[in-house]
């Protein structure tokens, strides 16, 4: 698959670039805001495309055309305020959904957050962030696209274990970013994840088994 990656410079994004860049099954085009980011990502095996999530839908549609799938793992991050949460995590994601529809890119996998679909379980200190993720996910679910929404628990930088638990509703727990990236990659082509949303934490199952048993 020709995979278009949004958020390639994020921590999960970089792992996805490495995995996709070294895959024989896929190729990866990484969206970057700044041409200076190109060199490093190209070394990891990605092509790069300059575009901005705060730009227009038509600019984004132009960037994604001829891709087979979009992975959205972008986020404005903790260092900016809720202004950017609204404009990047929510509106940016929604624009990318519209761009995918316009460009005829049917497959769309988004990295969300554990329990983003249940307001009562939102992390109290991060409620605005969870609200943005919640509505971005809703927009994707109500789109015409073949979506998968992956909602990982607390993200760790330790090495992946390859063992996860995936289900509609899971209690608060953590997972290495590497396992999230591996799960997103596996979900791309696993039909059992099509039009499905699930929580994801560390667990006892191999990633393929966890996805098949959703």
87 interacts with a copy of itself by CB under 8 A? yes
86 interacts with a copy of itself by CB under 8 A? yes
Beta carbon of residue 79, minimum distance to a copy of itself (angstroms, whole number): 15
195 interacts with a copy of itself by CB under 8 A? no
1 interacts with a copy of itself by CB under 8 A? no
The residue assigned the tokens 């001829």 is: 66
Q: Under rule CB under 8 A, how many of the chain's residues touch a copy of itself?
A: 23
Stretch binding a copy of itself (CB under 8 A), from 37-45, 64-72, 107-115, 123-131: 123-131
Stretch binding a copy of itself (CB under 8 A), from 25-33, 133-141, 171-179, 202-210: 133-141
Coil vs helix vs strand at 141: helix
x/- letters, 134..173, toward a copy of itself (CB under 8 A): xx--xx--x-------------------------------
32 interacts with a copy of itself by CB under 8 A? no
42 interacts with a copy of itself by CB under 8 A? no
Beta carbon of residue 81, minimum distance to a copy of itself (angstroms, whole number): 6
Active site residue 135: no
17 Cβ partners below 8 Å, 6+ apart? 5, 8, 28, 30, 41, 44, 45, 46
Strands (E), the chain: 2-6, 27-32, 47-50, 69-72, 107-111, 146-152, 154-156, 163-167, 174-176, 196-202, 205-206
* Both tokens assigned to 158: 């330790």
Member of 76, 85, 115, 202 binding a copy of itself (CB under 8 A): 85
Q: Which helix (H) or strand (E) holds 130?
A: helix 127-141
Closest to 198 (Cα-Cα) out of 73, 111, 76: 111
Coil vs helix vs strand at 22: coil
State the angle between helix axes of 127-141 and 91-103 in degrees (0 to 180), rounded to the nearest 10: 20
Other CB atoms within 10 A of residue 83 CB:
9
Beta carbon of residue 201, minimum distance to a copy of itself (angstroms, whole number): 25
Instruction: Give the footprint of a copy of itself on this chain (CB under 8 A).
Output: 56-57, 81-83, 85-87, 90-91, 94-95, 119-120, 127-128, 131-132, 134-135, 138-139, 142
């Amino acid at each position: 698959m020709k995979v278009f990656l949004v958020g390639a410079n994020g921590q999960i994004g970089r792992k996805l670039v490495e995995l996709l860049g070294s895959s024989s099954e896929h190729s990866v085009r990484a969206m970057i805001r700044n041409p200076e980011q190109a060199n490093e990502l190209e070394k990891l095996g990605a092509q790069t495309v300059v575009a901005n999530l705060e730009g227009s839908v038509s600019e984004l549609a132009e960037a994604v055309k001829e891709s087979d799938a979009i992975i959205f793992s972008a986020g404005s991050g903790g260092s900016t305020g809720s202004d950017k949460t609204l404009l990047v995590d929510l509106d940016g994601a929604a624009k990318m959904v519209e761009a995918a529809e316009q460009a005829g890119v049917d497959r769309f996998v988004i990295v969300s957050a554990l329990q983003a679909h249940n307001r009562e379980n939102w992390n109290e200190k991060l409620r605005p962030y969870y609200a943005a993720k919640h509505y971005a996910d809703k927009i994707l679910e109500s789109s015409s696209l073949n979506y998968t929404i992956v909602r990982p628990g607390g993200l760790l930088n330790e090495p992946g274990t390859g063992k996860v638990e995936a289900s509609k509703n899971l209690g608060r727990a953590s997972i290495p970013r590497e396992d999230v990236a591996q799960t997103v990659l596996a979900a791309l082509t696993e039909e059992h994840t099509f039009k499905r949303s699930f929580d994801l934490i560390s667990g006892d199952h191999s990633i393929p088994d966890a996805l098949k048993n959703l």
